[in-house]
Amino acid sequence: MDSSEYIVHHLHNVKIVSNFFSLHQDTFLMSWVTGLFVLCFFSLVARNVTSGVPGAFQNFLELIIDFVLAQVRDTYKGKSTIVAPLALLVFCWVFIMNLMDLIPVDFFSFVGTFLDISFLRDMKIVPTTDPNITMGMSISVFLLLIYFNLSAKGLFGYIKEFFCSPFGPYLFMVNFPLKIVEELAKPLSLGLRLFGNLYAGEMIFILIALLPWQIQWMLGGPWAIFHILVITIQAFVFMMLTIVYLALAEESH
């Protein structure tokens, strides 16, 4: 295949198409695989906790937990007990999904061709390069925001914010559209930021893969090292914005 066909091949999802929607099988599979990996890793470490000297995996997990809890304590002042576990899950899950971007571009294509499995040959392995998964997660956070708003302010208080904030009740015709834009911008910025950064990183890996193999390692190695920072920062940003949005939802104006 030529260069354009090669790029399209690696940017194309494996789909099941119906009359109303399409299901991206590879995104669905890899998001579940990475999610189960995170849960199994947590469960395995928790089962092996002993009263003696903790192992390397336990120390690593405790380091992550302490880091996330510190961010929650500094940002969220409410009383909900689900914010810290949610932040931990979001950070670890998004990080593992992003980490799939460090697997060589043609690895699964090679395995799929060798085993004659078309699904492996054609699949995309980085779920966060698909806007369906990033926007799906951001919409889930948005629904939590609505729940937190209603729990903290009640239905009347929540509706009142749309008409009375930020300029007071007499400018309700200005307040309402501004509040709508403010609320909708939260899930859009949350999902599109993660998608855009990981999609750009994947595109660079694909372009590097088009070069002769002697040059690929010279460019791919440094970019992979830099990309480790990108995928970590993006997981951190998604987690922090989730915490900040939930904290703001419980604040009264």
Q: State pLDDT tens for residues 168-198.
A: 778 878 888 898 998 899 999 999 999 999 9
Query: What's the rounded Cα separation, in Å, for the pair 183 and 148?
Result: 13
Average pLDDT over residues 115-137: 88
Q: Which residue has the higher pLDDT, 195 or 44?
A: 195
User: What is the torsional sign of CA 227, 232, 233, 234?
Assistant: positive
Helix axes 56-75, 25-47, angle to 10 degrees: 110
Give the C-alpha distances (Å, rounded to integers) separating 153 from 149, 162, 185, 241.
Answer: 6, 12, 21, 21
pLDDT at 193 (0 to 100)? 93
Q: Which of 3, 51, 189, 252 is catalytic?
A: 189
Q: Which of 98, 132, 138, 197 is catalytic?
A: 197
Q: Catalytic residue at 197?
A: yes
Three-class DSSP category at 210: coil
Q: Catalytic residue at 121?
A: no
Q: Catalytic residue at 48?
A: no
Three-class DSSP category at 202: helix
Q: Is residue 252 scored above 70 in pLDDT?
A: no
Please tell me the pTM assigned to this model: 0.89
pLDDT at 52 (0 to 100)? 59
Query: What's the rounded Cα separation, in Å, for the pair 74 and 236?
Result: 15
Average pLDDT over residues 203-228: 85
Q: Which of 59, 121, 193, 252 is catalytic?
A: 193
Q: Please write the tens of the pLDDT for every residue from 15-40.
A: 887 666 788 888 989 999 999 999 99
Query: What's the rounded Cα separation, in Å, for the pair 242 and 68?
Result: 12
pLDDT at 50 (0 to 100)? 60
pLDDT at 251 (0 to 100)? 76
pLDDT at 245 (0 to 100)? 92
Q: Which residue has the higher pLDDT, 65 or 46?
A: 65
